[in-house]
Amino acid sequence: MEKNVEVSMLCEIYGKLLTEKQYNFLNDYYNNDLSLSEIAENEGITRQAARDNIKKGEHKLFEFEEKLGIMKRMISQEEKISEILSELTKIQTKFSDEQIANILEHIKQELNYLV
């Protein structure tokens, strides 16, 4: 997974556990696509200070994920749901029984809601 996407996802999951400053720096850098210079200018600090704050925030996010593993479980769950949906589609196309097709469609809708 690309680092930018990973940090953005981790920020979404664990962002409230960071300091407000760390969260804002990471959000500006990864989600709002601001450069280090722009963040530094907005905050009235040096570019290096902005970078240091971002790196500290990233470190915290990866530390939270290592300890709690929420993102890993979410990705695993989404993969399993996708596999189940694929299998349900196979069953639905092989069998012509309308009742089975209706039940399978209902299950697919419920699983799609979870994804």
Q: Per-residue pLDDT tens for 15-35? A: 999 999 999 999 999 999 999
75, 107, 56, 67: which is closest to 6 by C-alpha? Answer: 75
CATH code of 31's domain: 1.10.10.10
Higher pLDDT, residue 115 or 52: 52
Q: What is the mean pLDDT of residues 81-106?
A: 77
Collapsing DSSP states into helix, strand and coil, what is residue 1? coil
Global pTM?
0.74
- Give dist(CA 7, CA 27) in Å, integer: 9
Q: Are residues 87 and 54 in the same domain?
A: no
Collapsing DSSP states into helix, strand and coil, what is residue 87? helix
Q: What local confidence, expressed as pLDDT, does residue 91 receive?
A: 74
Q: Are residues 59 and 89 in the same domain?
A: no
Q: Are residues 89 and 41 in the same domain?
A: no
Q: Per-residue pLDDT tens for 31-65? A: 999 999 999 999 999 999 999 999 999 999 999 99
Q: Are residues 51 and 91 in the same domain?
A: no
